């Protein structure tokens, strides 16, 4: 399973293209199957219909927990670092984690959960979050983790889309010096969620919460009623493992579906190879388990590999901007996996809180979530890796389940801002607007994949047609990523960013349409258009052009309306979707057919107003001058 030299990478890559089934079958042998598969791969990208390890039976938690007990039962599986460094942390060995997962799985069963039920998890970054995720997987329930920063409305939308039967949450969570009332938000969400029969509430902050008789139960009390004996449910390789919602260019977020067999194989294979994980190493991924990065590289990838994975509850700047480095030294972190936005924000604080740390345990550094700019790459390399740790710039998506394009640490020669080369099993292709392949090197185009890998999404929950439309219809026969990409003279790939109406704000994916819908819900708003613009720390900022029914508001009124709009967006989506800039306008640049010309709005938001290109097709070119004059 392990690649150790560039020659081995090339050999593996070639084999994976020539005989993908044989290639992945060999890798899948390294896992524990209840029953072997009969066909390694069945696929077409037209419906699409993708099945890996057909007929294979397994349970992912037997691979993440049970099979490690004999050899490394007493090794830490999870190290939990609380928000407050003065609070005692928790270390769970594989044996302890196995025990707790089985117990909580029995709690779920006691509360009526059976195989196939959907469970919404809305929790802080505590060990119990990973325990809840794994407990679902243990009994074949489908988890749908919702990031703790989303609003009640967002939770309700996700619960209703998947018809969740149970919600697992906590009273509250700690983030920096803030306390967030999670259960309260869940209560608001559940007003509109008739499918939910039970809410299991873990105690974290002990903030007062309402507990509805007949619906709400305490995690701790439930645990007293169960044993630690919970045999794993036998799952088909293609049974659903989880749903994770992600934003696209239109409509409400889609529930990306991953299944048991292929996802497990892919998450573990990429974890071990990209980071060159060695037994005994401590891995620290700073993402939240509410995102795919946390699913694949805090929970499933590391645990399926028998690694020690850190769960960090807090934020990089609390109690001060040295927190990541405190954690690195305290737990002797060997592999650190974080996001460019975090690096850029920490860069801004200078080197004082870096240089008073040792950091000598570090061996590999990872980056994920958005393009990493050259300056951040070098700062990471110079000051964190001390020029002795390879940096892996890992490109992938919620839909891909695991890393697709990335250096293999210490094996692939790196180049700042390049995700470099496809991993074995990954077949990228660049196409032009018409879907024609762009061959050769020194070219750029739209990034697609022409062959499935085991971690690819199988559907979008409850709406397979939407999955087809979104990913497989733009360029028939190909999976379309939505990203633009450059392939340089060496054949190295550099992701240049989204080519659709999706923003990447601090590594969070946000649809412009979603933000517009939220803004339009505000009483005084007639219409709005949202675009991204370059932001020093967030990567992209959100710029909103808004038409209100009061065309001549006083400065004071305009200021108040802005604040109301921010409150509305926070209420509808969550604080991560709040526009950074709001410009009130009297009209939007539209074509005669009524389409907003976002290209022009993007240019103005970027501050590049000299060359707006062809505006002759506009219905009313004069609105552009007004917008230019009022640009922020």
Binding site for ligand WT7 (CB under 6 A): 246, 292-293, 368-371, 393-398, 419, 481-483, 495, 497-498, 504, 509
Using the minimum distance from each CB to ligand WT7, give the nearer residue, 55 or 484.
Answer: 484
Residue 540 CB, shortest distance to ligand WT7, in Å, is 10
Give the shortest CB-16-to-ligand WT7 separation in angstroms.
21
Residue with smaller CB distance to ligand WT7, 286 or 504: 504
93 vs 338, beta carbon nearer ligand WT7: 338
Backbone φ and ψ for 245, nearest 5 degrees, come out as: -80, 140
The phi and psi torsions of 574 (rounded to 5 degrees) equal: 145, 165
β-partners of residue 431 are: 437, 446
Cβ neighbours for 179, distance < 8 A, ≥ 6 positions apart: 172, 173, 205, 207
In this structure, what token pair is assigned to residue 215?
A: 């619906």
**DSSP percent split of the chain into helix, strand, coil, nearest 5:** 35, 25, 40
Q: Which is nearer to ligand WT7, 169 or 481 (CB)?
A: 481
3-state secondary structure of 313: coil
3-state secondary structure labels for all residues of 209-277:
CCCCCCCEEEHHHHHCCCCCCCCCCCEECCCEEEEEEECCCCCCCEEEEEEHHHHHHHHHHHHHHHCCC
What does the block give as tokens for 31?
Answer: 């896992």
What is the smallest separation between the CB atom of 394 and ligand WT7, expressed in angstroms? 5
Query: At closest approach, how far in Å is the CB of 193 from ligand WT7?
Result: 25
Nearer to ligand WT7, 293 or 338 (CB): 293
Is the Cβ of residue 314 or residue 532 nearer to ligand WT7 in the bound state?
532
Cα dihedral value 308, 361, 367, 392, nearest 10? -100
Provide the minimum distance between the beta carbon of 616 and ligand WT7 in the complex, in angstroms, as a whole number.
Answer: 32
By beta-carbon distance, which residue lies closest to ligand WT7? 398
Indicate the residue among 59 and 504 with the shorter CB distance to ligand WT7: 504
Q: Least distance from C-beta 522 to ligand WT7, angstroms?
A: 26
- C-alpha to C-alpha distance for 459 and 399, rounded to whole angstroms: 9
Nearer to ligand WT7, 286 or 398 (CB): 398
Beta bridge partners of 186: none
Q: How far is the CB of 47 from ligand WT7 (least distance, A)?
A: 22
Q: Which is nearer to ligand WT7, 56 or 294 (CB)?
A: 294
CB-wise, 273 or 481, nearer to ligand WT7?
A: 481
Q: How far is the CB of 430 from ligand WT7 (least distance, A)?
A: 15
Closest approach, Cβ 245 to ligand WT7, in A, equals 10
User: Is residue 497 within 8 Å of 510, Cβ to Cβ?
Assistant: no
Q: To the nearest whole angstrom, how small is the minimum distance from the Cβ of residue 405 to ligand WT7?
A: 8
133: burial class by Cβ within 10 Å (0-12, 13-18, 19+)? Answer: buried
In sequence order, what are the residues at sequence separation of 6 or more whose Cβ sits closer than 8 angstroms to the Cβ of residue 490?
415, 441
Which residues lie closer than 8 Å to 235 by C-beta, 6 or more apart? 57, 58, 59, 60, 115, 140, 241, 260
Question: What distance in Å separates the CA atoms of residue 595 and residue 598, rounded to the nearest whole number?
Answer: 9
Q: In angstroms, what is the minimal distance from the CB of 317 to ligand WT7?
A: 21
**Cα-atom radius of gyration of the chain, to the nearest Å?**
24
User: Distance between CA 77 and CA 68 in Å, rounded?
Assistant: 10
Instruction: Give the Cα-Cα-Cα angle 103, 108, 109 (nearest 5 degrees).
Output: 95
SS3 445: strand
Nearer to ligand WT7, 27 or 392 (CB): 392
Residues whose CB falls within 8 Å of the CB of residue 214, separated by 6 or more in sequence, listed in order: none
Residue with Cβ nearer ligand WT7 (135 or 368): 368
Nearest approach in angstroms of CB 403 to ligand WT7 is 8
CA atoms within 13 A on the CB side of 427: 17
Closer to ligand WT7 by CB, 274 or 315: give it. Answer: 274
527 forms beta bridges with: 547
Please, what is the minimum distance in Å from the beta carbon of residue 329 to ligand WT7?
26
């Amino acid at each position: 399973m392990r690649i150790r030299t560039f020659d081995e990478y090339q050999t593996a890559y070639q084999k994976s293209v020539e005989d993908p089934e044989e290639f992945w079958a060999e890798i899948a042998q390294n896992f524990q199957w209840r029953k072997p598969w009969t066909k390694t791969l069945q696929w077409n990208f037209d419906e699409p219909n993708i099945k890996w390890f057909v007929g294979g039976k397994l349970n992912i938690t037997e691979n993440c927990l049970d099979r490690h007990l004999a050899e490394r039962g007493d090794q830490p599986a999870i190290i939990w670092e609380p928000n407050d460094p003065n609070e005692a942390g928790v270390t769970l060995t594989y044996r302890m984690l196995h025990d707790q997962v089985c117990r909580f799985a029995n709690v779920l069963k006691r509360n009526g959960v059976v195989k196939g039920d959907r469970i919404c998890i809305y929790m802080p970054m505590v060990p119990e979050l990973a325990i809840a995720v794994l407990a679902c997987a243990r009994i074949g329930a489908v988890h749908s983790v919702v990031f703790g920063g989303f609003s009640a409305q967002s939770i309700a939308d996700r619960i209703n889309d998947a018809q969740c039967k149970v919600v697992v949450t906590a009273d509250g969570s700690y983030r920096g010096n803030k306390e967030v009332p999670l259960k309260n938000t869940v209560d608001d969400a559940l007003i509109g969620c008739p499918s939910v029969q039970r809410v299991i509430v873990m105690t974290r902050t002990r903030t007062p919460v309402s507990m509805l008789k007949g619906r709400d139960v305490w995690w701790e009390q439930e645990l007293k009623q169960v044993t630690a004996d919970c045999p794993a449910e036998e799952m088909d390789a293609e049974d659903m493992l989880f749903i994770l919602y992600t934003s696209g260019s239109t409509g409400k977020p889609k529930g990306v579906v991953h299944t048991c067999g292929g996802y497990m194989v892919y998450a573990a294979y990429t974890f071990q190879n990209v980071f060159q994980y060695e037994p005994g190493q401590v891995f620290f991924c700073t993402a939240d388990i509410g995102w795919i990065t946390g699913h694949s590289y805090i929970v499933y990838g590391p645990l399926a590999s028998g690694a020690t994975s850190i769960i960090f509850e807090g934020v990089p700047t609390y109690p001060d901007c040295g927190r990541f480095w405190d954690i690195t030294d305290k737990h002797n972190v060997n592999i650190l996996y974080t996001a460019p936005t975090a690096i850029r924000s920490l860069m801004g604080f200078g080197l004082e809180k870096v240089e008073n740390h040792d950091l000598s345990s570090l061996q590999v550094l990872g980056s994920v979530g958005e393009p990493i700019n050259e300056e951040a790459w070098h700062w990471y390399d110079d000051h964190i890796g001390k020029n002795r740790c390879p940096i892996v710039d890992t490109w992938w998506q919620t839909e891909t389940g695991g890393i697709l394009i990335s250096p293999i640490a210490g094996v692939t020669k790196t180049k700042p801002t390049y995700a470099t080369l496809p991993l074995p099993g990954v077949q990228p292709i660049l196409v032009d607007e018409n879907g024609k392949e762009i061959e050769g090197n020194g070219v750029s185009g739209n990034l697609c994949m022409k062959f499935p890998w085991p971690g690819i999404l199988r559907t979008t929950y409850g709406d397979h047609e939407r999955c087809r439309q979104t990913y497989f219809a733009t360029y028939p026969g190909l999976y379309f990523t939505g990203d633009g990409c450059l392939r340089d003279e060496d054949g190295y790939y550099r992701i240049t960013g989204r080519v659709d109406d999706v923003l990447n704000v601090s590594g969070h994916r946000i649809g412009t349409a979603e933000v517009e819908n939220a803004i339009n819900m505000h009483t005084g708003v007639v219409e709005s258009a949202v675009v991204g613009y370059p932001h020093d720390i967030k990567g992209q900022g959100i710029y909103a052009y808004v038409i209100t029914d009061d065309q001549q508001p006083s400065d004071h009124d305009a200021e108040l309306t802005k604040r109301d709009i921010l409150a509305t967006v926070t209420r509808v989506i969550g604080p991560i979707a709040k526009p950074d800039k709001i410009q009130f306008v009297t009209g939007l640049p539209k074509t005669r057919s009524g389409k907003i010309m976002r290209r022009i709005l993007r240019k103005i938001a970027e501050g590049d107003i000299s060359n707006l290109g062809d505006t002759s097709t506009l219905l009313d070119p004069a609105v552009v001058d007004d917008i230019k004059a009022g640009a922020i």
